[in-house]
A = this chain, B = another copy of it.
């Protein structure tokens, strides 16, 4: 059996949303071995974990759900029952250049760092993350300059990096519009109906709210791509 090289081994951060699922399909197409990891951090939209599990299973991808204690993240409407997820306010906070209360303190830094330990432990040389800095809510941990800084830090702070073969952070969607992501996902035959993007789904039915930033961006993407969601 031929050994699989680190360059062909990837860890994918899979939330169960459209973007991360598209990343998973891209990784599957381009890599020889793919691991998917998801995080259970007390998010109100924990239904995404079921979706992630289903998607990984259907694609025969080894999937881990990492549990993070629910009181770590504070001051975010994605976990705090007393805070409301903003509705129909994407335009306003983009115009005002404010970061909405759905920002989770240091979330992508922590998730990437888990992926990094996971990858270096298993000799995987690539980490795929579906961040996007075009049709997004303005989170700092989705932007290209953050990814670049994270990459530099990985080079300095890991054994593999210090030996000159740093684990690479791959962000295939970072410069795409939501329309382009939807089109790409369609080409890759991503099962749209299994993905969920909503921050605040109905707790009983799991139905997307249709009004949070994530729902608005998803609707916009499908409308502009002229593709039917579902």
Contact = CB atoms under 8 A, between A and B. Distances in A.
A80 to B, nearest CB: 10
A69 interface: yes
B152 A140 contact: no
A65 to B, nearest CB: 10
A200 to B, nearest CB: 20
A29 interface: no
Contact of A162 (B140, B149, B152, B156): B140
A10 B118 CA distance: 28
Chain copies in the assembled complex: 2
B72 A118 contact: yes
Interface string A166-200: 00000000000000000000000000000000000
Size class of the contact patch on chain A: 35 or more
B110 A106 contact: no
A73 B153 contact: no
A116 B122 contact: no
A222 interface: no
Interface in A64-102: 66-67, 69, 72-76, 99
Nearest to A115: B106
Nearest to A116: B106
Given A72-B117, A145-B156, A150-B153, 4 more contacts: A66-B72, A106-B158, A107-B117, A140-B156
15 contacts: A75-B121, A76-B121, A105-B121, A106-B113, A107-B117, A109-B113, A109-B154, A110-B110, A110-B114, A140-B157, A141-B157, A148-B156, A149-B149, A149-B157, A152-B152
